[in-house]
């Protein structure tokens, strides 16, 4: 008996409850729907507290577990799960582990609680080529005038924290006006300010190095608290401006996720047998 295949795409983000930040996810979704017009596209957020807050506001967004279960119940057989995370940290590896538990075989092996095939698309920064592509795209964010750009990344305690130091080194080799720091990890804002002090730059544009410009961008980056990055840089005598776009709002970064999803969609296909 021939099994009919049915494909779907599941986009998985940490999520945001900041209305203005949703523009980044909307832009990524538009790029993906344009690239795959004939495939059902669904969303899931990994952050429980964000889903709970949105639910209180009347918007229900599934967790990855729930979203995948619904797709399975609807008869979907092949799923490309695209991570919309910045790097392969805790959230990404949790997603991979979930998908692995739902893969590993076909329904024909006796289990009806499996997809025929499910593949996870890589986050924005995964391979060296991703770093180079991101680095090139970030050059376009430099203002025309001689302002430095300070990127605020989230950071992590995961072993993948080295992605920020690696990218910072790559960026600085291309342009001495770009500095990358993190809220939770290395490099810190102290590291950024120490590097800035070695230059003649006295004007800075803050940019969230995050898919969405959510709470961290609004509070840790440009908030009024004396410990925000804007407050600290201003107190040190810098002229501070901010570009409040999440990277997902910028087409070059959204397209990186499309490329990774294209690879995942290709991996959904069974290998072609070549016979002599």
78 labeled part of a ligand binding site: no
Q: How many residues are present in the chain?
A: 276
Catalytic residue (choose from 31, 78, 85, 154): 154
In the annotation, is 154 catalytic? yes
Say if residue 93 carries a ligand binding annotation: no
CA 169, CA 250: separation in Å to the nearest integer?
23
Rounded-to-integer distance, Cα 270 and Cα 266, Å: 9
DSSP string, 91-154: HHHHHHHHHHHH-SS-GGGT-SSS-SEEEEEP-SS-SHHHHHHHHHHHHTTS-SSS-EEEEEE-
Q: How far is CA 161 from CA 118, 145, 155, 168, 178, in A?
A: 27, 32, 6, 12, 19
- Residue 85 assigned as binding residue: no
Q: 5, 263, 264, 261: which is closest to 115 by C-alpha? A: 5
Other beta carbons within 10 angstroms of residue 270's beta carbon come to 10
**Active site residue ranges:** 154
Q: Pick out the residues of the known binding site.
A: 154, 184, 216
Q: Pick out the residues of the known binding site for Co(2+).
A: 154, 184, 216
């Amino acid at each position: 008996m021939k099994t009919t295949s049915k494909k779907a795409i599941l986009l998985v983000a940490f999520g945001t409850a900041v209305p203005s930040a949703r523009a980044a996810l909307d832009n990524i979704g538009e790029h993906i729907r344009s690239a795959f017009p004939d495939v059902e596209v669904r969303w899931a957020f990994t952050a429980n507290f964000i889903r709970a807050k949105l639910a209180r506001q009347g918007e229900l967004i599934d967790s990855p577990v729930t979203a995948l279960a619904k797709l399975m119940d609807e008869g979907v057989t092949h799923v490309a799960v695209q991570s919309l995370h910045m790097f392969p940290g805790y959230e990404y590896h949790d997603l991979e582990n979930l998908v692995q538990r739902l893969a590993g075989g076909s329904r024909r092996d006796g289990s009806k609680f499996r997809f025929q095939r499910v593949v996870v698309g890589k986050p924005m920064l995964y391979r060296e080529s991703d770093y180079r592509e991101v680095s090139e795209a970030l050059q376009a964010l430099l203002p025309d005038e001689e302002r430095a750009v300070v990127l605020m990344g989230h950071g992590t305690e995961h072993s993948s924290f080295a992605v920020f130091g690696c990218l910072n080194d790559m960026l600085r080799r291309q342009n001495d006006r770009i500095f990358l720091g993190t809220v939770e990890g290395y490099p810190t804002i102290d590291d950024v300010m120490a590097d800035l002090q070695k230059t003649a730059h006295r004007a800075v544009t803050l940019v969230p190095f995050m898919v969405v410009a959510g709470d961290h961008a609004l509070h840790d980056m440009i908030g009024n608290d004396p410990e925000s990055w804007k407050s600290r840089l201003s107190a040190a005598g810098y002229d501070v401006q901010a570009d409040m776009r999440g990277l997902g709002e910028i087409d070059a970064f959204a397209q990186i996720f499309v490329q990774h999803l294209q690879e995942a969609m290709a991996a959904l296909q069974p290998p072609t047998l070549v016979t002599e």
